[in-house]
Amino acid sequence: MDMKKIEEGVRLILEGVGEDPGRPGLKDTPKRVAKMYSEIFSGLRTPVEDILNPIEGENHDEMVMLKDIPFYSICEHHLLPFIGKAHIAYIPSGQIAGLSDLVKALEHLANRPQVQERLTTQLADVLMQRLKPKGCMVIIDAEHLCMSMRGIKKPGSRTVTSAVRGTFRSRQSTREEMLALLNDRRP
């Protein structure tokens, strides 16, 4: 990542909005923002395939679901955060993923300029490619700050997207099983 370029860009934005980038409070801001971008856009640096490593030879062939995974991403249209929860379910076929690997795959895809729709389908596609499961379903539920603090200004409104693959697409009972697990709010 070209830190100098980001710093220069932030300085130009500050100038553009009529600020004085030289004043004490803003002096180190370009550097701080560049450092922050290298963290929140770190998903641009490594291919997701390096993260989701299948564990072979597992006979478990019932649904695996990880729900309420918190995540943060950046909307590529406004460079403002969208924040929410992801729910991932799949039915293995000979190989499974470590649960933390699923979380890392989500974070990895979220750590780049994104749109929620693409984040959802990318995660489902990576799962299908890497684990070759019988099917999977990803649901993402998020609040977009570009809708809350600007434009239409509707704080608290949530956008829900889903991607459905394999048996989750072809069998209604599988989708219903997932939704039952999702709505089960026992502690």
Q: Which residues are catalytic?
A: 75-78, 116, 144, 146
Q: By C-beta, is 3 or 146 nearer to Zn ion? A: 146
Do 21 and 11 contact (CB within 8 A), yes or no?
yes
Shortest distance in whole angstroms from residue 6 CB to Zn ion: 20
Name the strand (E) or helix (H) holding 24: helix 24-27
Shortest distance in whole angstroms from residue 182 CB to Zn ion: 26
Q: By C-beta, is 128 or 145 nearer to Zn ion? A: 145
Q: Which residue is nearest to Zn ion (CB)?
A: 146
| Residues within the interface to Zn ion (CB under 5 A) | 75, 77-78, 146
Longest dimension (CA), the chain: 62
Shortest distance in whole angstroms from residue 172 CB to Zn ion: 33
- The sign one gets for the Cα dihedral 173, 175, 181, 182 is negative
Q: By C-beta, is 82 or 168 nearer to Zn ion? A: 82
> Which residue is it, tokens 């099917």?
135
